[in-house]
Amino acid sequence: MQLKVRVKVNSINNLSDARYFATFAEWAGFNFNPADPNCLPLATARQLMGWLSGPRMVGEFDDAPVEMINQTAEALNLDTIQTDVDLPVELLAPQISAVIRRVNIMPATLPQQLTALLEKNAAHTAWFLLNFTAAGLGWNDLQQHSLFTPAYLKSLCADYNILLQLPFTPQNILQVLAAIQPAGIALNSGQEIKTGIRSFDDVADMIELLELPD
């Protein structure tokens, strides 16, 4: 399935999600942050990854140290990682060829701080994931925001490879893409109702809007 925009799926933790999102996602993320109670055991991650073909596997590490990142990447043969901190990239395992730098936009974050962070990390970062859900900001908030305006975000997307994370809905997704023009979007995975059963109503209508005609 080809979409109008690249999609990263965050923190896959069940086979239903792995199979569903593999049909259209460019990146499949797995949470390996040891401080997170939802951290995925390596054995579970290995099993889920074994079912996937197509998406690029991403180890999500939040603020974990380089040593832990390298150990996990080597154990699972990962070449793409996601971090929330400025890592000493020269210490990353040689097999890691791409870094996604997530930036959680908080109420106190200023545009000049974000711009400086992007400039500082651009040389060794493949993608920046701007996460507005961390502060509970939605599309309506950005349209009324005096700092993180759609025009400002569009200018960032023109200069950097940006993945945008907002509370996307079928009602706002096309408007967001037209106004900001990110290179990609990030969606959260969900939970199975019970083993093997999962409702995808929350994303199916949205993905249908993004699907390109054959």
The CATH number covering residue 72 comes to 3.20.20.70
| pLDDT at residue 130 tops 70 | yes
In the 3-class helix/strand/coil scheme, how is 3-67 assigned residue by residue?
ECCEEEEECCCCHHHHHHHCCCCCEEEEECCCCCCCCCCHHHHHHHHHCCCCCEEEEECCCCCHH
Query: How many folded domains does the chain comprise?
Result: 1
Among 100, 93, 89, smallest CA distance to 56 is for: 100
| pLDDT at residue 190 tops 90 | no
Inside any domain, residue 73: yes
Reported as a single tens digit per residue, the pLDDT across 14-56 is 898 888 899 999 999 999 999 999 999 999 999 999 988 889 9
pLDDT given at position 213:
86
Inside any domain, residue 1: no
Q: Which domain holds residue 93?
A: 6-210
Mean of all residue pLDDT scores within the chain: 93
pLDDT given at position 201:
76
Inside any domain, residue 14: yes
DSSP characters over 114-168:
HHHHHHHHGGG-SEEEEE-GGGT--HHHHHH-SSS-HHHHHHHHHHS-EEEE---
| pLDDT at residue 132 tops 60 | yes
pLDDT given at position 191:
60
Inside any domain, residue 11: yes
| pLDDT at residue 197 tops 60 | no
Inside any domain, residue 13: yes
Considering the entire predicted model, what is its pTM? 0.94
Inside any domain, residue 33: yes
